[in-house]
Amino acid sequence: MPVAGTADIELSSLASSTASSISSPIDGLDPVSPVSSAASSVILKRVPASMALPKRPLFLQAVRFVTFVVYFTSAVLSINFTQLLGLPIRLISKDWFHAYVDYTKQSFGLVLATMTQWWSPTPVHVVCDRTVAGLMTSTEDGRLETKFGERIILIANHQIYSDWLYMWWIAYTGQLHGSIYIILKDSLKNLPFVGWGMQYFRFIFMSRKWENDESRLKKALSEINNDSQWPAWLLIFPEGTNFTQNGINNSRKYAQKFNFQEPQHLLLPRARGLYYVLKSFNVPYLYDCTVAYEGVPRGGFGQDYFTLASIYFQGRPPKSVHMHWRRFPRSSIPLEDESEFERWLQKRWMEKDELLEGYYLNGHFDGVESIDTNVRLKTSSEILQVYAVPAAFILCVNVVWKAWKLMSSH
Q: How does residue 2 score in pLDDT terms, banded at 50, 70 and 90?
A: very low
Residue 45 domain-assigned? no
Find residue 213's DSSP bridge partners: none
Confidence of residue 24 (pLDDT cuts 50, 70, 90): very low
Task: Tell me if 252 is assigned to some domain.
Answer: yes
Least confident residue range of 153-157, 158-162, 251-255, 285-289: 251-255
Helix (H) or strand (E) holding 261: none
- The H-assigned helical ranges of 281-365 are 302-305, 308-312, 338-362
Is residue 39 one of the residues assigned to a domain? no
Instruction: Give the pLDDT band (50/70/90) at residue 37.
Output: very low
Q: 358 or 313: which carries more pLDDT confidence?
A: 358
Residue 2 lies in a domain: no
- Taking residues 32-53, report their average pLDDT: 50
pLDDT at 47: 63
Give the per-residue pLDDT at 396.
94
3-class secondary structure, 212: helix
| pLDDT tens sequence across 78-113 | 999 999 999 999 999 999 999 999 999 999 999 999
Structural domain boundaries enclosing 286: 59-408
Mean pLDDT, the chain, integer: 86
Q: What is the pLDDT of residues 112-127, one digit of tens each?
A: 999 999 999 999 999 9
The partner residues of 56 in beta bridges, in order of sequence, read none
pLDDT at 264 over 50: yes
In-domain check, residue 335: yes
Structurally, the chain folds into a number of domains equal to 1
263: nearest Cα among 328, 154, 338, 356:
356
Please indicate, yes or no, if residue 96 is contained in any of the structural domains.
Answer: yes
SS (H, E, C) 63-111: HHHHHHHHHHHHHHHHHHHHHHHHCCHHHHCHHHHHHHHHHHHHHHHHH
User: Exposed/middle/buried for 49, CB within 10 Å: 0-12, 13-18, 19+?
Assistant: exposed
Give a yes or no: residue 37 inside a domain.
no
Distance CA 137, CA 142 (A): 9
CA–CA separation, 73 and 80 (whole Å):
10
Number of H helices, E strands in the chain: 13, 10
The confidence score (pLDDT) of residue 13 equals: 32
- Entry pTM: 0.86
| Residue 399 included in any domain | yes
